[in-house]
């Protein structure tokens, strides 16, 4: 039986340019999906430029199912089904999670100073070849904060990264294109736990990653895996004795709510949770941030829906499609 899906393509400017080893983004183009009739579920397809296939409405009408769109459909089904059952998407005693603020390569020390002044105590700093020194600068200026780093697979050797052993780095995400000898050297020499990120796109990837001795844990993105596989990835990581952390893809508050729900479950390691409007000029969902913390959604299903007026403001294209 086919199901109706309403697709809203949004384009939202960023507050400041988002620069990483992959390039610079100044606006975020994502798609929200609404599935169902009387009771609806919401999901978000957040393809990231250079990493994920773009969403083409005509291709979607013809039955195309790019990975982030498939993930959004899975999210929306989980949300709808939980709402119908009048159950929360997750049950957890965790009501608040410390914000983990991700900082790009544009004025990283200045951005960190603003975040810390706002009560943030966990940071993830983007790094790239030739752009590592700011990690030490942040550590020297803010000795008490938790620092993780994300290289977006930009390094070819561990040489430049070895200096991070003096920066008290809590973890490093995806330093290299592969998980061979360079990763092993970096982990052994610095003692920094290494996490997969871009390399986790499917459950087949998961099996390979969890078998690698170089990897201490996995970063799970519901926006890339979907909700069902995100939960499976968490369970597999714990069964393998590996760390896991929840994260997102520079999404709106809908996509971020899935990461927050996942992060609220037991066993997470310094998950990436932050308000969407810390990066976007405005979120399409109500903010859940305050005093350096994110409030975990409550209520049936995801517990979050878009504000109609903001959805209308940032929608640049829409379509209704049928999926099987």
Catalytic residues: 126, 221
C-alpha span between 240 and 222 (Å, rounded): 20
C-alpha span between 95 and 195 (Å, rounded): 26
C-alpha span between 10 and 20 (Å, rounded): 22
Q: Quick one: which H or E segment has residue 11? A: strand 3-20
Which residue matches tokens 């609404």? 34
For 41-85, the DSSP string reads EEEEE-PPTTTSPPP-HHHHHTT---HHHHHHHHHHHHHHHHHHT
- Beta-bridged to residue 246, according to DSSP, are 220
C-alpha span between 174 and 185 (Å, rounded): 14
For 121-135, the DSSP string reads -EEEEE-BTTB-HHH
CA distances to 38, 82, 164, 291, 316 from 22, in Å = 42, 37, 21, 32, 25
């Amino acid at each position: 039986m086919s199901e109706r899906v309403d697709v809203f393509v949004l384009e939202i400017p960023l507050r400041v340019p988002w620069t990483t080893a992959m390039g610079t983004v100044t606006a975020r183009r994502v798609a929200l999906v609404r599935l169902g009739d009387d009771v609806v579920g919401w999901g978000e397809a957040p393809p990231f430029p250079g990493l994920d296939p773009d969403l083409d409405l005509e291709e979607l009408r013809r039955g195309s199912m790019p990975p982030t769109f498939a993930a959004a459909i899975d999210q929306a089904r989980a949300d709808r089904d939980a709402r119908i059952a009048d159950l929360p998407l997750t049950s957890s005693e965790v009501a608040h999670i410390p914000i983990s603020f991700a900082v790009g390569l544009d004025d990283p020390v200045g951005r960190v100073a603003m975040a810390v002044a706002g009560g943030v105590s966990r940071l993830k700093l983007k790094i790239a070849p030739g752009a590592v020194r700011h990690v030490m600068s942040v550590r020297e200026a803010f000795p008490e904060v938790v620092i993780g780093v994300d290289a977006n697979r930009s390094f070819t050797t561990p040489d430049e990264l070895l200096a991070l052993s003096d920066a008290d780095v809590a973890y490093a995400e995806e330093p290299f294109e592969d998980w061979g000898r360079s990763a092993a050297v970096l982990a052994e020499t610095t003692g920094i736990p290494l996490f997969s990120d871009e390399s986790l796109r499917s459950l087949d990837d998961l099996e390979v990653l969890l078998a690698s001795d170089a990897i201490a844990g996995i970063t799970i993105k519901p926006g890339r895996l979907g909700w069902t596989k995100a939960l499976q990835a968490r369970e597999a990581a714990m069964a393998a004795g590996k760390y896991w952390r929840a994260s997102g893809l520079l999404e709106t508050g809908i996509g971020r709510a899935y990461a927050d729900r996942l992060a609220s479950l037991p066993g997470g390691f310094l998950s990436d949770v932050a308000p969407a409007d810390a990066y976007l000029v405005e979120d399409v969902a109500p903010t859940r941030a305050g005093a350096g913390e994110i409030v975990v959604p409550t209520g049936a299903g995801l517990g979050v829906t878009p504000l109609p007026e903001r959805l209308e403001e940032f929608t640049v294209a829409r379509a209704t499609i049928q999926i099987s």
